[in-house]
Amino acid sequence: MADDDADVIVVGLGVHGSATAASLARRGRTVLGLERFGELHERGSSHGRTRMIRRAYPNPVWNGLVDRAFDGWAALEQETGQTLLHRTGGLYAHAGESQLQGPGCVAVDSREEFERLMPDFRVPEGYRAVYDPNAGVVEASRALTAFRSVATAGGAQLRFGETVIGWESTEAGVVVQTDAGEYRARRLVLSGGPFLGRLVPELADLLEVWRILTVTVPAGQAIGRPPGLGAFSVDRAEGLVFGIPDADGNGVKLGVDARELWDPETPVAPPTGAEVDSLLALLERYVPGLELRPADAAACLYTMTADKRFVIGPLASSPGVVVVSACSGHGFKFAPAVGEAAADLADGMARDDLDFVSTARRGI
Ligand SMILES: Cc1cc2nc3c(=O)[nH]c(=O)nc-3n(C[C@H](O)[C@H](O)[C@H](O)COP(=O)(O)OP(=O)(O)OC[C@H]3O[C@@H](n4cnc5c(N)ncnc54)[C@H](O)[C@@H]3O)c2cc1C
């Protein structure tokens, strides 16, 4: 490619880089997307078939971004003619107080109500819950493909298997070096997921990378499908358990937010037999009666901030560079809204509604 290769270079084509490339391409910007691994790689955070979506968030400051995400998924479904969301309702169990709130969310504290709302989910003794009627399941791998196809249909060039090894701001914009060449653009979006701290050293201390395990059991059972089972979580001191029902043949998925630090440059170790057994035991406890084998277990990476808020915005030291870390184990659902936000910021627009997740609030 020649000089001035693109209006915007997007580094990292997980769900947020892909959504950003789609948003920019829709606006007619020329986009070059660079991804170090292959199209379906499992070294980041965006692979796998499903993710949870919910309106229940612990602080109303999130509600606007949640609205934009739901609207964005509906628009992407329309644009691509695909079903990307299944509304199943969600029941979020907690032992102490819960801050979860959001449009339509209600507190539930009787066993009769738990069973009426989600008969296949066993809320632990002594727990209460928040019910979110709008929660559901995102078709994650379909969504990733959808964003990329919108991006390429709009003229974006997406290059896989090319690693960015450095970047610098110049008077004219940015220069990006890869293992295959050098590219120039007006603006740069860095959406490197667990590797973002390597691309932006100012972020390294803010972002921890955790190894996370999930297990998925066979689809099509009488138990585990909506409406008997919706999205759920159980807040435990040892780590939040999250569950996703078998919507549309994707199987029942369960995972645990356990803090096991991991160096993303080392391929994440697959779950051991003992780890799989322990996940299945949790599944048996919270969704009793499921056929648990054959189980499909996977390991992937969370990028975590201490307050679980994202880091999105331009860098004070390089205003033409926008960083995007919509992370902490709950970022996927926001992809259409995050892609739109990153595109706005790359276009130089202010997004004051994002102050609560901004780079500025972290002094970066
Ligand atoms: C097990 C699990 C369950 C989850 N469940 C949910 C859920 O239910 N609901 C929800 O909303 N969210 C969930 N999340 C979180 C969500 O999936 C992530 O927040 C989201 O996928 C992060 O996307 P990303 O694009 O920022 O990062 P990634 O998907 O990691 O993408 C970053 C990309 O950048 C590339 N890259 C990095 N460095 C370079 C470089 N130097 N050169 C080129 N490319 C580079 C990487 O290879 C990678 O492909 C879950 C995450 C996991 C792991």
pLDDT at position 296 is 97
CA distance 145 to 261: 29
The token pair that represents 111 in the structure block: 């066993």
Mutate to test the pocket of ligand 1, among 16, 46, 52 (most ligand atoms within 8 A of CB): 46
Mutate which of 309, 332, 357 for ligand 1? The one with the most ligand atoms within 8 Å of its CB, which is: 332
pLDDT score recorded for residue 3: 52
Ligand 1 midpoint to CA 151 (Å): 18
Q: 361 and 61 in contact (C-beta within 8 Å)?
A: no
Residue 165 alpha carbon, nearest atom of ligand 1: 41
pLDDT of residue 2: 55
Residue 231, SS3? Answer: strand
Residue 30's nearest CA partner among 5, 6, 3, 2 is 6
Q: What is the pLDDT of residue 181?
A: 96
CA of 147 to the centre of ligand 1 (A): 14
Ligand 1 mean position, distance from CA 125 (Å):
34
Substitution site in 41, 45, 52 for ligand 1 pocket (most atoms within 8 Å of beta carbon) = 45
Nearest CA to ligand 1 atom 38: 192
Q: Which domains does the chain have, with CATH numbers?
A: 6-46+141-206+308-362 (3.50.50.60), 88-135+207-304 (3.30.9.10)
Q: Report cis status (omega within 30 of 0) of the bond before 264.
A: no
Tell me if 322 sits within 8 A of 190, measured CB to CB: yes
pLDDT along the chain (364 residues), means of 10: 81 98 98 97 96 98 98 98 98 95 97 98 97 98 98 98 98 97 97 98 97 97 98 95 97 96 98 98 98 96 98 97 97 98 98 98 97
